[in-house]
Amino acid sequence: MINQLINVGYTEKQIKDFAIGYRWVPDTDETDIVDLKPTYYVKINNRWRDYQDWLADKTE
């Protein structure tokens, strides 16, 4: 995950911290149910976000 962030242009110095967490994903079959998917949250520029969101920002 850290290597993916570095490969898209973030530096090790920018990546201040990371933690394991869960992403809220609506269930496609049941509107009253959600799925919690494991992911990493990364702190860059004093902001916590899912690492996939950080990757998407650099690849758009």
CA distance 19 to 40: 6
Residue 60: pLDDT over 80: no
CA distance 40 to 29: 26
Within 8 A by CB and 6+ apart from 25, the residues are 34, 35, 36, 37
What's the pLDDT at 51? 97
Which range marks the domain in which residue 26 is found?
2-59
CA distance 33 to 45: 33
User: Number of structural domains, the chain?
Assistant: 1
Question: What pTM was computed for the model?
Answer: 0.83
What's the pLDDT at 31? 83
Helix (H) or strand (E) holding 29, with range, is: none
What's the pLDDT at 21? 98
